[in-house]
Amino acid sequence: MLDSPGFTLPLRRTPQTVEDLRPTSVVEDPAQRRDLILLERARGGDLDAFNDLVVVYQDLLFALIVRMVPDRDQAADCVQEAFFSAFRNMASFRGGIVRSWLSRIAINAAMDTQRLRKRRPVDPYPELEDDSWQPPADASADPVTTALETERHRALNRALATVTDDQRAAIVLYDIEGYDYAEIAQMTGVSLGTVKSRIHRGRIALRGLLADQMELFRG
């Protein structure tokens, strides 16, 4: 009876644990190795090597900055300023992850822009309805799913643009860029507790802003 095919033991289901899939080690990362080689050559005076780094990271930095400074022109200016700053400060790079180093410089540039904007407000940030914010649709994807995802991304981007600058930076770095608390604390120059608080408060604020659109996420 026990070996009958229809018999199953009533197993007690434990709640699924959510695993953090973000990489914790980059020692053997080929991309990191490539970046270090390029940076070393750039420090030796090879401008082409630096420009290779620019080409590799320009989209990533633009994605990071455009979520913090949601004006695409200003974000592009920030990216340019970040690369200028990286070129000037190549000598101060003391090892570590090149992507994090560049991200930190980009965040500083974005924060400078935000501060400047607060001092001299011109007009509010435009609403993020730009289609280029959406990833290209997979040809095999269901159109309904694609449309839903696009709508969800738009809603999230709109809500993100509304929370405070600090909360937005922390959420973008943690949830989208995948940095951990300690890295974000180091990048933004605040304590670990402040980073956590900004992320959690920011998410609660997002929930308040998205309260009437939560069906998009449940679907």
Partner 1 sequence: MADREPQDRFGRPTEDMPDSADRTPHADHDLLVVAAGSDVGADPAARAAAARQRAACPECDALARDLFLIAAGLQSLPRSIPAPAARDFRLSPDQARRLQRGNGLRRFLRPFGAGGIPSLRPMAAAFTTLGVAGLLFTLVLPGMTTFRVVTGAAPGAISAPIGAGDAAASPQAVKENASTDSPAVPAGAATSPAAAGASPASLDLGRSSATPPGPQVPSQDFSAPTASVSPLSPVAVLSFVLLAAGVLLFVLRLAAYRLR
Residue closer to partner 1 by CB (options 5, 143) is 143
Q: Which long-range contacts (CB under 8 A, 24 or more apart) does 129-134 make?
A: 129/154, 130/72, 133/157
Q: How many CB atoms lie within 10 A of CB 212?
A: 8
Q: Among 9, 10, 20, 24, which residue sits at the site for partner 1 (rule: CB under 8 A)?
A: 20
Closest CA to 168 of 187, 146, 195: 195
Amino acid 162 reads: T
Find, among 39, 194, 191, 168, the residue nearest to 110 by Cα. Answer: 168
When asked if residue 151 is in the footprint of partner 1 (CB under 8 A), the reply is: no
By C-beta, is 10 or 143 nearer to partner 1? 143
* Range in contact with partner 1 (rule: CB under 8 A) among 26-34, 137-145, 162-170, 192-200: 192-200
Decide if 77 contacts 98 (C-beta within 8 A): no
How close are the terminal C-alpha atoms of the chain, in Å?
42
Q: Which region among 6-14, 27-35, 77-85, 113-121 touches partner 1 (by CB under 8 A)? A: 77-85
Does residue 192 touch partner 1 according to CB under 8 A?
A: no
- Residue 133 binding partner 1, by CB under 8 A: yes
- CA 107 to chain CA mean position, Å: 11
Q: How far is the CB of 8 from partner 1 (least distance, A)?
A: 29
Q: Which residues bind partner 1 (CB under 8 A)?
A: 18-20, 47, 50-51, 54-55, 58-60, 62-63, 66, 72, 76, 79-80, 83-85, 87-89, 91-92, 108, 132-135, 149, 152-153, 156-157, 171, 175-178, 180-181, 189, 196-197, 199-201, 203-204, 206-207, 210, 214, 217-218
